[in-house]
């Protein structure tokens, strides 16, 4: 089985150790999480200036029939259209970005980027839970009841909050990878035993969580105040005004109750982040994910993916996961963004010969061909059908450059 051999490469399971400046170092992770706190708090303050405006979240509301579909809300329509625009500039090819509507997005219009392989390919996406929590828990806590007709401004602010919370929650994947590298033996034993409770206990650091809540409380109180430009209004002396050392009085009006933001972190953001960490770790030792060019039904790439990479039912819980992509470009996007370790691309069909789009991708992007697969069923029915397996440079031993696929594409001797 080609899939078994390709998925055994040791680099998948033991990445190089991190340094102090590495993106997975504790210092780097802490700085990123602190910046994300600022973004979330400011976004919540922005949303809190408007009323609840419940009509924005009702599927099929007549007020937005010209924009939203019959089964979607104004918020869902705005969020989808925003993600479509962002997808065209390749936002969701980044490993730290996760879309709410991943199956409804167009391919990037800009050239794909080759991201460093920091994470093990996984299928973690908690955005459905995040949207549910936001609608039923967060909005009632940060907005006043009623309708102020500021519907467009409200959902624009909603989108900013949702994207900020999603990024914070899914950054748990990077946290989990860092923790795994620090204690690989302990986590490996728990993962192999499918011990979710044990993994949760090992990754939980109550002291760090309490520091986060204290920091969020202070930020929410500080950011939520109306700061007067006229120092005399606050009773500051000339010296205090020059040095900026004086604190704003605690009696200053607040745009949003700081405790509402603290509860959001305590009840939802931190638990969802840890849920993402556990879900990632449970997939950390499984066979790599494989992207293939669809469609699923009767497609040669799908048949070859199942034949060579899909694990037997007895091991499916820890085995590979197949990712259907609508185009060969989608397969490349999945591999370059590290959502998949391997990609299966249709190269040749009997009636069409070598597909120009596939040949162009091989020449344009720095992926290497590591295997060639043929579909015997399709060959018997309609002549030769050939697919190739691609992965990132240095992820597997390089090809010789002398195989017939390399010769056919004119890539022999090229440094890939």
Catalytic annotation, pick one of 83, 177, 277, 324: 277
Catalytic annotation, pick one of 47, 179, 284, 289: 179
Catalytic annotation, pick one of 82, 93, 273, 288: 273
Quote the CA–CA distance of 90 and 108 in Å, as a whole number.
5
**Which H or E run includes 2?**
helix 2-6
Determine the angle formed by the axes of helices 270-282 and 184-192, rounding to 10 degrees.
80
- Closest by CA to 144, choosing from 47, 68, 72, is 47
Catalytic annotation, pick one of 205, 222, 315, 394: 205
Catalytic annotation, pick one of 53, 83, 93, 168: 168
Distances from the Cα of 202 to the Cα of 133, 171, 252, 283, 377, angstroms: 26, 18, 42, 16, 49
* 205 given a catalytic annotation: yes
Quote the CA–CA distance of 367 and 394 in Å, as a whole number.
9
* Region of residue 298 (left: phi > 0; alpha: psi -120 to 50; beta: else): left
* Torsion, CA 271, CA 276, CA 281, CA 285, rounded to 10: 160
Please tell me what DSSP assigns to residue 268: I
* 402 given a catalytic annotation: no
Catalytic annotation, pick one of 186, 196, 209, 275: 209
* 168 given a catalytic annotation: yes
* 91 given a catalytic annotation: no
Please tell me what DSSP assigns to residue 72: S
* 274 given a catalytic annotation: no
**Tokens encoding 265:** 């972190």
DSSP assignment of 186-209 equals: HHHHHHHTT-HHHHHHHH--HHHH
* 273 given a catalytic annotation: yes
Catalytic residue numbers, as ranges: 30, 168, 179, 205, 209, 273, 277
């Amino acid at each position: 089985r080609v899939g078994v051999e390709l998925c055994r490469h040791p680099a998948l399971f033991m990445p190089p150790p991190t340094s102090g400046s590495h993106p997975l170092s504790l210092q780097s992770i802490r700085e990123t999480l602190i910046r994300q706190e600022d973004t979330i708090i400011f976004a919540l303050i922005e949303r809190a200036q408007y009323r609840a405006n419940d009509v924005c979240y009702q599927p099929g509301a007549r007020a937005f029939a010209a924009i939203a579909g019959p089964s979607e809300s104004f918020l869902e329509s705005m969020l989808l259209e925003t993600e479509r625009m962002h997808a065209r500039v390749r936002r969701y090819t980044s490993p730290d970005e996760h879309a709410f509507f991943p199956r409804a997005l167009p391919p990037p219009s800009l050239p794909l980027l080759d991201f460093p392989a920091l994470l093990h390919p996984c299928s973690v996406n908690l955005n459905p839970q995040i949207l549910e929590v936001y609608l039923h828990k967060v909005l009632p806590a940060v907005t006043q009841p009623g309708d102020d007709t500021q519907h467009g401004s409200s959902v624009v602010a909603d989108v900013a909050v949702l994207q900020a919370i999603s990024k914070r929650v899914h950054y748990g994947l990077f946290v989990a990878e860092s923790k795994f590298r620090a204690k690989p033996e302990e986590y490996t034993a728990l993962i192999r035993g499918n011990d979710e409770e044990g993994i949760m206990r090992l990754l939980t650091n109550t002291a760090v969580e309490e520091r986060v809540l204290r920091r969020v409380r202070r930020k929410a109180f500080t950011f939520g105040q109306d700061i007067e430009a006229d120092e005399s209004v606050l009773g500051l002396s000339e010296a205090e005004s020059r040095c900026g050392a004086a604190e704003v009085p605690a009696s200053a009006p607040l745009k949003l109750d700081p405790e509402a933001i603290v509860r959001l972190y305590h009840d939802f953001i931190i638990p969802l982040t840890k849920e993402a960490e556990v879900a990632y770790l449970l997939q950390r030792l499984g066979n790599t994910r494989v992207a293939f060019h669809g469609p699923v039904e009767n497609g040669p790439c799908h048949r070859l993916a199942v034949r060579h990479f899909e694990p037997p039912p007895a091991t499916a819980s820890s085995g590979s996961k197949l990712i259907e992509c609508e185009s060969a470009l989608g397969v490349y996007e999945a591999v370059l963004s590290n959502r998949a370790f391997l990609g299966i691309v249709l190269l040749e069909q009997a009636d069409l010969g070598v597909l120009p789009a596939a040949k162009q991708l091989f020449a344009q992007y720095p992926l290497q061909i590591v295997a060639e697969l043929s579909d015997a069923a399709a060959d018997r029915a309609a002549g030769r059908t050939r697919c190739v397996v691609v992965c990132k440079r240095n992820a597997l031993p390089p090809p010789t450059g002398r195989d017939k696929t390399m010769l056919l594409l004119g890539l022999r001797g090229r440094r890939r």
